[in-house]
Amino acid sequence: MDGPSNGGMLYHEVQESNLCAVHCINTVLQGPFFSEFDFAAMASDLDRTERQMMIQSSGDESHNVSMGGDFSIQVLQKALEVWDLQVIPYGCPVAEPAQFNPELERAFICHLLDHWFCIRKVNEEWYNFDSLYAAPEHLSKFYLSAYLASLRGFGWSIFVVRGTFPKDCPISSADVPYSFGQWLSPDDAHRIAKACNPNVSFSQTGNSAKINRNPYQLIEEDDRSLSDMENEDLHAAIAESLLDSLPIGVETVVSPRQTDESSCHPAPLIQTEASPPPSTSEAGTAQEDKKEK
């Protein structure tokens, strides 16, 4: 029987500038495989190809990287293609099994506004490798399903990553001058996450579940206590956290086409401004409408 990948260690990158797309892909691959320079080169190649295919296109503005350093889904796809990995929109028929049994997958890429992060299974355990976190946060299988559902409800685009993932990273972070990452044992990751978020916990008061309000917060609780919560309470807790922490009014060059998980064959690029997530009252009204139907 094969041993754990990377000696049982977890690879995590903490946010640097606007390089969350780079951090996302490196944590999908579990190693410092790409730099921002690699991504910039891939974005340039994609822009050149698009200009050749679209004769009517004019100007030198990039559709695959913004002036702030945000990259499009096409760049992320191109990076993973190097490793023969597929990036499949969550809404495609081929990805339908992931909606019912997400724990059987290996990795998910999540995107909203100008932020990318990855949820990845490493050595049969799920972790959130959001670069806004000081360390990866462990997820139970039950919480994974509930959290993905809540992300979709708030307009996040989700992509399933499939293929043969690298088992071990052949290079060390110390050997890569541009690396932003660190290797952590699961115990160290848990300790760091707990130290950074000492008050993180789920609690129940009557029919409500409360969650502390940190950016894109995920909480790891033992399956026993989570299973006692009703699905609606859990979703409400996650939704409250997402609503209170998501950036509002952030401009992005990533169009709906680029992150539309329901479209397996995207339409041409259109630069746009992302809409903010719904307010608490809007979310509550939508939930009531759904119940009435």
Q: Which two tokens stand for residue 279?
A: 């307010």
92 included as an active-site residue: no
Q: Which of 278, 15, 12, 20 is nearest to 150 (CA)?
A: 278
Task: Say how far apart CA 104 and CA 291 lie, in whole Å.
Answer: 29
Task: Say how far apart CA 139 and CA 171 lie, in whole Å.
Answer: 27
Q: Considering 111, 114, 130, 138, which one is annotated as catalytic? A: 130
Q: Are 68 and 20 in contact (CB under 8 A)?
A: no
Q: Which of 117, 116, 138, 134 is nearest to 126 (CA)?
A: 138
111 included as an active-site residue: no
Q: Considering 12, 23, 63, 115, which one is annotated as catalytic? A: 115
12 included as an active-site residue: no
Q: Considering 20, 24, 118, 169, which one is annotated as catalytic? A: 20
Query: In angstroms, what CA-CA distances link 29 with 167, 177, 200?
Result: 9, 18, 28
Number of residues assigned to the chain: 293
Q: Are 261 and 158 in contact (CB under 8 A)?
A: yes
- 107 forms beta bridges with 120, 161
Residues annotated as part of the active site: 20, 115, 130
